[in-house]
A and B are shown apart, each in its own frame.
Chain A
Amino acid sequence: AQTVTQSQPEMSVQEAETVTLSCTYDTSESNYYLFWYKQPPSRQMILVIRQEAYKQQNATENRFSVNFQKAAKSFSLKISDSQLGDTAMYFCAFTYQGAQKLVFGQGTRLTINP
């Protein structure tokens, strides 16, 4: 079975600080994608960043970057220069070839304080 685990239910940092959210996954698949989604109070899921498993280079999108450790099955999200608008639930997700679905972690509630 494919599982995604987010070990931090809640996190809180001050504006402009850097924060890292943790995610581990379990799979026997070799061909897969990993994602981080953000869900603000509006509840719409917004893609933050995506990583292809076959790529060794860590994905980066502006202030968001990942640390993808394939052997350790770890996929953490780093948010630099955090902003108030980053306050949201963050979900780590995973899909693999043939799955046609996303498997989500339980989420981390991130609060950015002014």
Chain B
Amino acid sequence: KAGVTQTPRYLIKTRGQQVTLSCSPISGHRSVSWYQQTPGQGLQFLFEYFSETQRNKGNFPGRFSGRQFSNSRSEMNVSTLELGDSALYLCASSPGGPFSGNTIYFGEGSWLTVV
């Protein structure tokens, strides 16, 4: 069974550009969450989707958005990139969501560097 797959793994963008990151959850998993990891702020929750509906959103500006497709694959988009957006973006999937009692599986992350 394939794990959580994130693409691209590494990317470099210029300030002001936008970026789209993709996450394919484990087959059968309907919940996808996104987290940002930085040395200064640690791991912070971005948003969670379940069956194409955003159920929760973290405290990030509107430049950060996401969506989930009918096949549970998810994308997150960051517009007007800032230097501070440089981070590891982690995607996680589970059958029912973080509180469902199911194990939450993480992908290897997408490393974003903004220059």
Of the listed stretches A15-23, A63-71, A77-85, A89-97, name the one at the interface; the rest are far from the partner chain. A89-97
Pick the 7 closest A-B CB pairs, nearest first: A45-B106, A104-B43, A100-B56, A101-B45, A95-B98, A100-B48, A100-B55
Given A95-B98, A101-B48, output 10 extra A-B contacts at Cβ < 8 Å. A42-B108, A44-B107, A45-B90, A96-B99, A99-B98, A100-B31, A100-B33, A100-B55, A100-B56, A104-B42
A-side contacts of B42, CB under 8 Å: 104-107
B-side contacts of A52, CB under 8 Å: 101
Interface residues of B in 69-115 (CB under 8 A from A): 88, 90, 92, 97-99, 101, 103-109
Task: Please measure, in the bound complex, the distance between the C-alpha atom of A99 and the C-alpha atom of B100, giving whole angstroms.
Answer: 10
Contacts A43-B108, A44-B109 hold; do A99 and B56 have CB atoms under 8 A apart?
Answer: yes
Contacts A43-B88, A45-B90, A45-B92 hold; do A102 and B108 have CB atoms under 8 A apart?
Answer: no
Q: Is A98 an interface residue (CB 8 A)?
A: yes
Number of interface residues of A (CB under 8 A): 25
Contact between chains at B99 and A103 (CB < 8 Å): no
Contact between chains at B103 and A101 (CB < 8 Å): no
Measured as residues with beta carbon below 8 angstroms from the partner, the interface class of chain B is 20 to 34
- A8 to chain B minimum Cβ distance, whole angstroms, is 14
Contacts A100-B50, A100-B97, A101-B58 hold; do A91 and B43 have CB atoms under 8 A apart?
Answer: yes
Interface residues of A in 21-67 (CB under 8 A from B): 33, 35, 37, 42-47, 50, 52
Query: Contact residues of B with A, CB < 8 Å?
Result: 31, 33, 35, 42-43, 45, 48, 50, 55-56, 58, 88, 90, 92, 97-99, 101, 103-109
Task: Please measure, in the bound complex, the distance between the C-alpha atom of A97 and the C-alpha atom of B33, giving whole angstroms.
Answer: 16
A-side contacts of B88, CB under 8 Å: 43
Contact between chains at B101 and A102 (CB < 8 Å): no
* 22 sampled A-B residue pairs with Cβ under 8 A: A33-B99, A43-B88, A43-B108, A43-B109, A44-B106, A44-B109, A45-B92, A47-B103, A100-B50, A100-B97, A101-B33, A101-B48, A101-B58, A102-B33, A102-B92, A102-B98, A102-B104, A103-B45, A104-B42, A104-B43, A106-B42, A107-B42
